[in-house]
Structures are given as structure tokens and as C-alpha cells.
Amino acid sequence: MPITTHWFLPTHGDGRSVVDRPHTTPTGADTPRRPDIDYLAQVAQAVEGLGFTGMLTPTGSWCQDAWITTAALLARTKRIKFLVAFRPGSLSPTLAAQLASTYQKVSEGRLLLNIVTGGESTEQQRYGDWLDHDERYARTDEFLAVLRGIFAGGPVDFDGEHYSVRGATSFEPPDPAPPLYFGGSSDAALPVAARRADVHLTWGEPPSAVSRKVQRLRELAAEQGRELRFGLRAHVITRDTSAEAWGTAQRFLEQMDPADVAASQAKIARTEAVGQQKMAELHGGALPSSARDLEVHPGLWAGVGLLRGGAGTALVGSHSEVADLIEEYHEVGIDEFVLSGYPHLEEAYWFGEGVHPELARRGLRGSNPSAAARELTVAPH
């Protein structure tokens, strides 16, 4: 099966290095490229022209709202889908279904949904959400049960611990129903993914660790009579030669302030998110002198995680080497790749013009990615 590639919309700002916008330290408030609509449109139009399928748009108090920003970009783009991230605890499933239905009508089917349960209590509490980690996943399970019922046509009657609805429906079901992307690595998260998700997203751990997670999720989904697709969320540094790519990683490392790294790691150390804990384990909080010291698997660099929360690894190398690593992930079950880079505009060109053709030569990507993108459909419920 050919792979699908997505890019990232930097609604928190952008810059020429990971130090320009770490978003976990005070210096993150100042970014060289502000996320105004003209710059975001420039990134989105480039990504569309380069043949990516969609763009992940994040959620949180550190970035702009994903629904509003991407809706504004619909008129500035023609094909690109938007993978809109949102947190179930911040709105009702009935309202979410109404938003999805309206979005699909306005965009002519360009919505993908990324369900973010929320791994940090401090961030959740900013929105008035005081549930603990496992309770949040239980609420997400109920939320998605109602949401899928409305997507199927409703009306939905549901009585749960977190939601009770009667006759929940939308003006009309979204057409098509947007695929549900879902992340989470904890014991509370994986069963919810198996029951409700279409695509499970994982951060860029080494392929052996990703393989174990994919296998476990396949087993859990099979118990529900379902199948899942799997995606990987990571950064990328790809250049014409390996030396150029690793030279960029080295520059990023040398620009890191030890005080900023210490501040980021202090915050990350308090995380409740299992996936975030696994990202931190890859680098151990160390700030070495050589970027290669943080190469945790051939071509997989853990240096981004020294400053940035969330995805903390990057695929680094020549276009052929990055394609090798993507192929390795594909062999263990990853079909979709949600990528980003610094800056997001320039790195999209490096990947789109360098790695996309290499993947096509290997038969991992269709010769007409724009047409393939339009064929992305939701998996069976």
C-alpha cells in the first residue's frame, strides 16, 4: 500500500531553528516568523503544490485555534486537507459533529480530525478541565461513541459517566465522514484507539518500539472486529547529502542554550503522557557536543526533544537515507507520516522535491499524489 505524507501548519510561529520556537520555554514567546494568515497561507500553498495530502494543525494554549485558522485557509488553497486537532473536553460531541458537518460542506470534504485527549493536567486546567489522565481517556471513549453515532446519521441516545445525550444529531451528517486520527501510548489510551480510531498516531520512536506498539494495537482492534491504520509524527531534516543534513542538526544543537534545555526538561519530567516520557528517555536530557551522539537509530535524531515537547525526534539524512528510514517504518506497519521541519516552508520543499520522488521510485508513493490524496477515505467503523 502506498504511504501518505502530511505536513504541519505552524500556527505557533516559525523560525530557522528549533530554538526559535520551542514552546516549552519563555523564549518561545518570541519567534522570527509570526503565524499571520499570509505566512500560513504561503506554507499551505507550498505544501499543497508539493503533493502532501494534509496538514496537521495543533491545539493548545500555545498556538492559534485550529478550526478557525484552517477554515480561513480554505479559500487560499484548493486541495490540501486539514488535520484539525481538538480536545474532546473542550466541546460537546454534538457540537463537534456540527462543526465537522459544516466544515465538510464548506471545504468540499477537506477535513481530517485529530482527537487529542490531553496528556498534561496543567494545560487541561487552563481550559477548566480537572479530570485526571485515565479519566480523560474514558471521557474521550464516550465522546467518540456519540460522535461516530452522529456521523452515521443518528439520532443518538447515550448515557455515560461523562455524557448523557438524547436525540443527538446534526443538521446533516458530514459527507464524507472525516477520518479520526488518535494518539496515546498509555494503557488507558490504547483500548480507546482500538475501539474508536481510524488512524493511530505515534511519535518517532525507533522502528522496533513502533513495531511493538503497532502489533499490540492490531491485536486490540481485532478483538473489536476492527482494523486500524497507523501514522508516525516526527520532524525531518533532509538534504542533497547526508553531511549537509547532519550539519544542520549540528547547528541546531549548537544553538541550544543549556538553561533553556534544563527548563524544558524540568517541565517534561513532570509529564503524565506516556508517549512524552518515551521521547525523553531517548535523549536522557543530555546536551552533548555532537549531534551524532543523539542518533538513537540510524537516521533518527532525538535532539529536537531537548527543547520541544511533543514529537521529539527527526528523520535526518540525504533524501535517499530519509526514504530508507520511512521504508523501514512502513515495513512495521506505518502508512501515514505527519512531518515538520525548521523552517516549515523551506523544509517542506526539501522533502517534497527530494524525498517524494525517491519514494515514488521505490513504489511507495503514487505517481499522482494529488489524485491519491483525494481518495483518502475513512476506515470501517
Q: How would residue 150 be classed by pLDDT, with cut points 50, 70 and 90?
A: very high
Mean pLDDT in residue range 301-321? 93
The pLDDT, as a whole number, for residue 274 is 79
Domain boundaries, the chain: 4-365
DSSP string, 185-240: -STTTHHHHHHH-SEEEEE---HHHHHHHHHHHHHHHHHTT---EEEEEEEEEEES
The predicted pLDDT at position 28 comes to: 44
Query: What confidence category does residue 231 fall into, taking pLDDT thresholds of 50, 70 and 90?
Result: very high
pLDDT in tens, 69-118: 999 999 999 999 999 999 998 899 999 999 999 999 999 999 999 999 98
Neighbours of 106 (CB within 10 A): 12
Secondary structure of residue 336 in the 3-state scheme = strand
Alpha-carbon distance 18 to 22, whole Å? 6
> Which CATH number applies to 4-365: 3.30.56.10, 2.70.98.60, 3.20.20.30, 3.90.230.10?
3.20.20.30
Local confidence band at 30 (pLDDT 50, 70, 90 cut-offs) = low
Band (pLDDT 50/70/90 cuts) for residue 249 is very high
Percentage above 90 pLDDT, the chain: 76
- What mean pLDDT comes out for the span 127-135? 88
CA distance 23 to 279: 16
**What's the whole-number average pLDDT of the chain?**
91
Helix (H/G/I), strand (E/B), else coil: 182: strand
**Which one is predicted more confidently, 15 or 32?**
15
pLDDT band at 22 (very low <50, low <70, confident <90, very high): very low
